[in-house]
Chains A and B, each alone.
Chain A
């Protein structure tokens, strides 16, 4: 069997790849270079076209800014917790609702509805739902218990945001896991049943290991999405009292537009890029090593 590389001469590859390379150079390469220049420049809206190089002052400013670390810690916690909760809940629902969804596939459409709502709109919706004088939740809490619970106060805002994010994105995990669960060959499951494996053993030793690649991918996607969260958090709490609910995306947005600190905002983006790249590279390296060990 011949492969594509064997058949296609190099010149054809060049022709095919040129548009993509040009696209990447123009739409990713150019902004990346501009960002790198801005990150080491004293730049404002007035001198966007002729920034003055100022060394690594912007990086130092970000590094020494307590708000940057506060936002990083928020993003990390938020990303990890929401990814874990969404995947755990999605996995549970995928496995236990599977027989039901198999028979009534329209249920899946209903379960997917939260994904259809824009995150900013979700934030807006919960602003109403949780408002003491407008929202149904505080209304019933007051009517039944005479209690006025602060959902978006400093002590509870983080957890409220976690719940809001989890409720919206669990269906995504559910969808992935349901597809993976359905893809498990029936004969393996049946064979294990014939061999006397109990349900929990089948789940633990057969189904979950077969779903593991999907679980890892789902965790990664949800972590990335949670880590870079912006819309619903910004609409619900802004950056929170004292910046307590500022994610890294919010930090960068506010530095850029609200404070006009363009160099600082771009420097924070560059740091974020470098760290993300290092983490992803590291994960990729570990995954490859594991593959090698298995072979």
Chain B
């Protein structure tokens, strides 16, 4: 009797749990990026979509999230196994080629081009096809101490010292400039000037902080330097072009800064968090860092030593122009989706102006065109600079969305850090990288 009651109770509990856990009404399941502003923004967008009168009950959206750790590996395993657990899933620029065999191209709304612009849409393209809607964009800013640069620009004695240092280390006399006019040489000269190992009178211990850990994301930060000198992964014919003067220049500049002590000695183990901590200490004059760091580095609570004196600019330029590496997060269509039509409709709507504005107002980081961003500029001033830099300076390397893009970054991370740490010559580094990339991108 007791057992029968327990069994009944158990069945009831299972039924209730299934109702709560399962998609009670939602028929379009979307796998999102958990635990950050992206989740908040996606929830807001999904709520708005579900509230629309023309979205039928069976096409309403339900969101799924799992842990960030190992997210891409788990997603790859799920997709490869033909999972039907989600209809639409998160996608990143550098992993599109990897996931493309398990996904389907999508059709965006007619407004998409006007909302995001061409360069941002390319972050979700693979072999000429659109695989997703770019909801969040990441690029790089030059963060610098405005107080220090302003003081340098006003001080004649400091300018003379600056010229002396630049001539000694870079082989040419340079004058201090406003960061908006910096080339990579100006940045290097400024970094050296603000380094106590080079200039004992420097108010900061280090002129810059480089993220040199053997990590693929650090290679994304680095790419804009060779790109400004014309560097690319491969040419239009698919020939690997990494063994070039542009990459040579980029790698040598980093090595020069590391060897001169312009960046902490432990930079070879630094990534995003370590670089931020170094800059926030007030002992670093300038650094290239992801835009995601802006809110922390300009927050008086989180970075009291630098918040009020930090300004942001696009990374420096070179003979070929000024560039910032962009990569995006977005949403695409699972080839094995159970509700393909519903998922397509949601993705299409997500690329509309209406959805982009909702996403932007709720902590998301879409790179919007100047016309569209105006509408959220008061609430999200940071998005103005994001959109501007993305459309003016944003680029994706040739092959940057290929199936092996992640592996290329991994290869570069290993080879380049090997050179910066003095374990191999520049020639060997470029030779090994070119050989490895040719193998990966063939």
On A, residues with C-beta under 8 Å from B are: 45-46, 48, 67, 127, 130-134, 148-154, 157, 236-244, 254, 257-260
Contact = CB atoms under 8 A, between A and B. Distances in A.
A39 to B, nearest CB: 19
Interface in B199-236: 205, 212-216
B262 to A, nearest CB: 12
A153 B73 contact: no
Given A151-B266, A241-B268, A243-B214, A45 B410 contact: no
Interface in B410-429: 410-411, 414-415, 417-424
A260 B281 contact: no
A133 B281 contact: yes
Given A131-B274, A237-B213, A241-B268, A260 B414 contact: no
B414 A149 contact: no
A259 B405 CA distance: 9
Contacts, number: 102
Given A131-B266, A258-B407, 6 more contacts: A45-B98, A130-B266, A152-B266, A154-B421, A242-B424, A259-B410
B214 A242 contact: yes
Q: Is the interface of B mostly helix, strand, loop or mixed?
A: helix
The 9 closest A-B pairs by CB, nearest first: A242-B418, A150-B265, A241-B421, A152-B269, A241-B417, A133-B281, A154-B421, A45-B80, A242-B423
A238 B420 contact: no
B153 interface: no
Given A241-B417, A241-B420, A131 B410 contact: no
A153 B259 CA distance: 12
B264 interface: yes
B265 A241 contact: no
Contact of A153 (B281, B410, B421): B421
A150 B266 contact: yes
Given A149-B265, A153-B421, A242-B418, A133 B277 contact: yes
Contact of B266 (A46, A48, A132): A132
Contacts of B31: none
Given A153-B421, A242-B418, A260 B98 contact: yes
Contacts of A258: 216, 406-407, 410
A208 B406 CA distance: 53
B220 to A, nearest CB: 15
Given A152-B269, A239-B414, A260-B98, A244 B421 contact: yes
Contacts of A149: 265
Q: Name the residue in B77, B81, B265, B423 with the highest tally of chain A Cβ atoms < 10 Å from its Cβ.
A: B265
Nearest to A147: B265
A237 B77 CA distance: 26
Interface residues on B, range: 35 or more
B421 A148 contact: no
Contacts of A45: 76-77, 79-80, 98
B404 interface: yes
Nearest to B273: A127
Contacts of A157: 268-269
B281 A254 contact: no
Contact of B418 (A134, A151, A236, A241): A241
Q: Name the residue in A149, A237, A260 with the highest tally of chain B Cβ atoms < 10 Å from its Cβ.
A: A260
B258 to A, nearest CB: 10
Q: Name the residue in A151, A237, A244, A254 with the highest tally of chain B Cβ atoms < 10 Å from its Cβ.
A: A244
B260 to A, nearest CB: 14
A237 B269 contact: yes
Interface string B341-367: 000000000000000000000000000
B98 to A, nearest CB: 7
Contacts of A133: 264, 277-278, 280-281, 283
Nearest to A149: B265
A148 B265 contact: yes
Nearest to B408: A259
A135 to B, nearest CB: 10
Contacts of B102: 46
Contact of A238 (B79, B213, B404): B213
Nearest to B79: A45
Contacts of A237: 213-214, 269
Nearest to B99: A45
B399 to A, nearest CB: 15
B20 to A, nearest CB: 32
A240 to B, nearest CB: 6
